[in-house]
Amino acid sequence: MQIPDAQKDVRTVFIGGFPGQLVSSVVWCASAATLTWYSFRAGVAVLVFGGVFIFLLTQMLLRLMSRPSSLPKGHPMNWLAMQIAFTVPLSIPLVLAAALHRHSWFYPAFMIVVGCHYLPFMFLYGMRLFGTADRIRINDRALYAYPAELRRLANLSDIPRLRLHRALDCAL
């Protein structure tokens, strides 16, 4: 099987990533609501433990939509998808360490991890859109974690960086 054919299978089965993004959004919103109206620890628990079930809930949503819920057995992208999935749980201790230092860093740190987790999705799905979304996730959340003075300086330096990103996008 050729890589473009395998990528097309992934896009077809997972509808371009839509169900997974939807489920992930619901988990993040539930976590934010829990943190806002209950407690920091409960909000962290909702995101960490809810995140464990994102793929399972995505498969359930696909079944509810009467669609196949996974790639066929032996598909060449199965192993890559599994390796990508394990990057987030392995990074959780780092996120929790950052949050112990400063609670306000929990969501930005987790978003940076999730953004890095999605980078290989560009290859898995064969969609550059994941790269654009990742740049937004990683850059925006990294800047959020900085003190206000550094954010102002970083915003001034964004102009050349945005030009570089546009040039790279055109080159790809």
The residue type at 168: L
CA angle 109, 130, 49 (to 5 degrees): 45
In this prediction, residue 158 carries a pLDDT of 47
Question: Which pTM does this prediction carry?
Answer: 0.73
Number of domains in the chain: 1
Residue entry with tokens 């994102």:
54
How far is the C-alpha of 78 from the C-alpha of 71, rounded, in Å?
Answer: 7
Q: In the chain, which stretches have pLDDT less than 50?
A: 149-151, 153-154, 156-172
Structural domain span for residue 54: 3-171
Q: What is the tens place of the pLDDT at every residue in 76-126?
A: 888 888 888 888 888 889 888 888 888 888 888 888 888 778 788 888 888
Identify how many contiguous H helices and E strands the chain contains and give both numbers: 10, 0
